[in-house]
Amino acid sequence: MDGTILAKIEQKIQDALSNKDEIKELIKLLSTIDDSKSFALGVMVGRIYNAFYYQSKRILNREPTKDEFKEFLEFVKNKKYDLENLW
């Protein structure tokens, strides 16, 4: 995966960490659906996936390849602990 894209994804994680109140508000709003830690993690992963996909299109002018997506999954897997412990 392009280093620029990884940097943007890392930035999105840091943005989420610094904007926990916004994420908490979103999760609270959706808590009638599910208020579990897994749901909160899903919201975070969704934001990060959106950044990955958008940055791939913006920077590379194309959709991510299957290999890039696998790298993205590995990246998220390595960040799982940090993301789970936001709350």
Residue 58's identity, in one-letter code, is R
Would you call 87 helix, strand, or coil by DSSP?
coil
Residue 85's identity, in one-letter code, is N
The pLDDT value given to residue 46: 86
Residues 6+ apart with CB under 8 A from 12: 47, 48, 51
The pLDDT value given to residue 17: 67
Is pTM beyond 0.75 here? no
Each residue's pLDDT tens digit in the chain (87 positions)? 667 877 877 787 777 667 778 777 877 787 777 767 787 788 888 888 888 888 888 888 999 899 989 988 998 898 888 777 766
Residue ranges per domain, the chain? Answer: 3-84
